[in-house]
Amino acid sequence: IRISNEVWFRLGDMTLAEHSAILGMIFSPNNRSSRMIKRMAEINLIKGDEQAAHKFLKILLQTRFHRKWAERHMPGNDGNLSDEWLEQNRANISQTDIIRTANDYPTALRQLIHSNPSNLKAIDYLLCYSLLNKDIPAFVDDYRRYALIHPEITCRLYSEALMIYLFINKATLEELREYRIDPRIISEFT
């Protein structure tokens, strides 16, 4: 629970990051966690909700370890908060909002990718999620949709999963070429 907010924050889903941070506070000793409050402040700064960010930063001003950080990030303190940091984190956030359950990870990841097709972290997490759940058809579908346009996503693990899928479905050599699988992996597989 305490680390999932970090994952969703890095991927750009501020709603799930906020949900995880709140759960992290609930399950902390005495329901207190300055780290989770710091994350709530960051989330609200990125979302542009300065009032909510101010509320969390005021709490952090009372702490020994986060006081200086809170002063630097307080809305209205010009020049202290990096515009580059804000823009970098805002680039990955979803531009649309849908109703979904908190554990519908494929939908959350696809929404992030739809909002920002160059969010390679979200693509990677989506592909790995499908493989971990042994959902090869979903993996292949997402690979076709998202990873083929990003050659840097291709890795040995994905190539091997594609080879298994293509072998089971008796793919032709032309179909095999579409996936740009390293010839060494094809040779090892055969």
16, 28 in Cβ contact below 8 A?
A: no
Residuewise pLDDT in 10s, the chain (190 residues):
778 999 999 999 998 999 999 998 898 887 778 889 999 999 999 998 999 999 999 999 999 999 998 988 887 766 556 677 788 888 888 877 778 887 889 999 999 999 899 999 999 999 999 999 999 999 999 999 999 888 888 889 999 999 999 999 999 888 888 888 888 998 998 8
- For the entire predicted model, the pTM comes to 0.83
Tokens of 55: 């509320």
pLDDT at site 190: 82
- Could you tell me where the DSSP H helices lie in the chain? 4-11, 14-26, 34-47, 50-60, 67-73, 83-90, 105-115, 120-132, 136-142, 156-168, 173-178, 183-189
| Continuous segment of H or E residues that includes residue 97 | none
The residue to which tokens 């042994």 are assigned:
134
Residue 167, C-beta contacts closer than 8 angstroms, at least 6 positions apart: 189
